[in-house]
Amino acid sequence: MAEQSTGAGSGVSFITVDEDQGGQRIDNFLRTALKGAPKSLIYRVLRKGEVRVNKKRTKPDYKLQAGDLIRIPPVRLPARGDAPVVGQGLLEHLERAVLYEDEALLVINKPSGLAVHGGSGVNLGMIEALRQLRPDARFLELVHRLDRDTSGCIMVAKKRSMLRYLHEMLRERRMQKIYHALVQGRWEARDKRIEAPLKRFELKSGERMVRVDEAGKASVTDCRVLRRYGALATLVEARPKTGRTHQIRVHTQFAGHPIIGDIKYGSDDINGEFRALGFRRLMLHAAALHLTLPDGTPLKVEAPQEVEIDRALEQLSLRSRVKQDQDVESE
């Protein structure tokens, strides 16, 4: 664990970097050490030379090494009481949602509607709630992101070394993420690879969107049909080979089958019809993760879908059979 001391009467603190903290950029280190401090403050104290490493000025991209001595100036942070209070109901839900946990890794079945972190108008996110759920955890950081309305497997590192290891696995595509998406209409091809470059852009309103664009970044998603609900909908397994923003959502739309409940890329009219059947959210679920732990142990984690969604799928199955019977009678 890093040693920390405070300059007498000055409010200055000194932290000695341990091996687990080595390898990360100084700006990222400060974001963890000074929780609640805005990015602008962190970069300002770095730019002004108020943060020193081994008594020298440093740049934001400097990578720390074990044994480095960091001088941190006194900064005014939000008082502990200013942090959003997490309701007991959410804490209990997240405790039940733990899919896997060891001394270095936590995997949560994130509910739809919960942002992974606060910001952009969201006071409280999953990571802030987890820090209150695990108050003794010295380090808790998101390994990756999920859209607010996407549910399912999300990894949280409890050690800096695990965060680095998993980021390397993601970069080298040695981790398999498996999603289930309920899409509009009948998806014909049982197996399909979608290769379509994606580019981010902004609407005049400021809303961020993604579209297929030849000038975008290469993006690949492998899809396989799990179940068809007549001509109404199809349950598809999606395995992204790249990790672009909104990749599965835009790729399924590009294939002619937007995800049900997608207010950005779907149809309001069709989404309304499915809401009446109980589908009141984006129907994209991070169903499983396959990876290898640092000691070589294979790990497979599966996230069950919400009970309400299982019931809605039963209603959809019944509706599709009724429609098929009606179509046969009309022939």
Residue 8: is its pLDDT beyond 50? no
Convert the pLDDT of each residue in 166-223 to its tens digit.
Answer: 999 999 999 999 999 999 999 998 999 999 999 999 887 778 899 999 999 999 999 9
Please identify, in words, the CATH class of the domain defined by 87-172. Answer: alpha beta
User: Which entry of 61, 68, 82, 147 is annotated as an active-site residue?
Assistant: 147
Which is nearest to 117 in space by CA: 154, 82, 92?
154
How many CA atoms lie less than 13 Å away from 285 in the CB half-sphere?
Answer: 22
Question: What confidence tier does 40 reach under pLDDT thresholds 50, 70, 90?
Answer: confident
Neighbouring C-alpha atoms within 13 Å toward the C-beta of 225: 16
Chain CA centroid to CA 168, Å = 16
DSSP state of 266: S
Q: Which is more confidently placed, 25 or 239?
A: 239
- What superfamily would CATH give domain 173-331? Pseudouridine synthase (3.30.2350.10)
Tokens found for residue 49: 């030379």
Please report which confidence band the pLDDT of residue 291 belongs to, taking 50, 70 and 90 as the band edges.
very high
Determine the pLDDT at residue 205: 79
Q: What is the pLDDT of residue 21?
A: 79
Which pLDDT belongs to residue 122? 58
Query: What pTM did the predictor assign?
Result: 0.77
For the packed helices 26-33 and 39-47, what is the interaxial angle rounded to 10 degrees?
A: 130
Domain 3-76 has CATH 3.10.290.10: yes
Sequence ranges of the domains in the chain: 3-76, 87-172, 173-331
Share of the chain above pLDDT 90, in %: 67
pLDDT reported for residue 120: 52
CA 226 – CA 313 distance, rounded (Å): 13
* pLDDT at residue 77, as a whole number: 64
Contact between 244 and 198 (Cβ < 8 Å): yes
User: For 250, phi and psi rounded to 5 degrees?
Assistant: -80, -35
Q: What is the C-alpha separation between 68 and 125, in angstroms, rounded?
A: 32
Reply yes or no on whether 269 is catalytic: no
Are 109 and 119 contacting, i.e. CB atoms less than 8 angstroms apart?
no
Residue, of 312 and 34, whose pLDDT is higher: 312
Confidence of residue 1 (pLDDT cuts 50, 70, 90): very low
Which is more confidently placed, 235 or 74?
A: 235
| 111-140 tens-digit pLDDT | 999 999 876 555 678 998 998 899 888 899
Query: Which tokens is 37 given?
Result: 């401090």
What is the structure's pLDDT at 331? 58
Residue 4 pLDDT class (50, 70, 90 cuts) = low
Per-residue model confidence (pLDDT) at position 9:
40
In SS3 terms, 124-164 reads as: CCHHHHHHHHCCCCCCCEECCCCCCCCEEEEEEECCHHHHH
87-172 and 173-331 share one CATH topology? yes
pLDDT per residue as tens digits for the range 94-115: 999 999 999 999 999 999 999 9
State the pLDDT at residue 280. Answer: 93
pLDDT higher than threshold 90 for residue 33: no
Task: Pick from 26-35, 109-118, 131-140, 295-304 the range whose average pLDDT is largest.
Answer: 295-304
* pLDDT, position 38: 77
pLDDT at residue 87 tops 50:
yes
Closest among 151, 146, 309 to 233, alpha carbons compared: 309
314/34: higher pLDDT: 314
Angle in degrees, 0-180, between the axes of helices 126-133 and 88-96, rounded to the nearest 10: 90
What does the mean pLDDT of the chain come to? 89
Higher pLDDT, 36 or 28: 28
Residue 228: alpha-carbon gap to chain centroid: 28
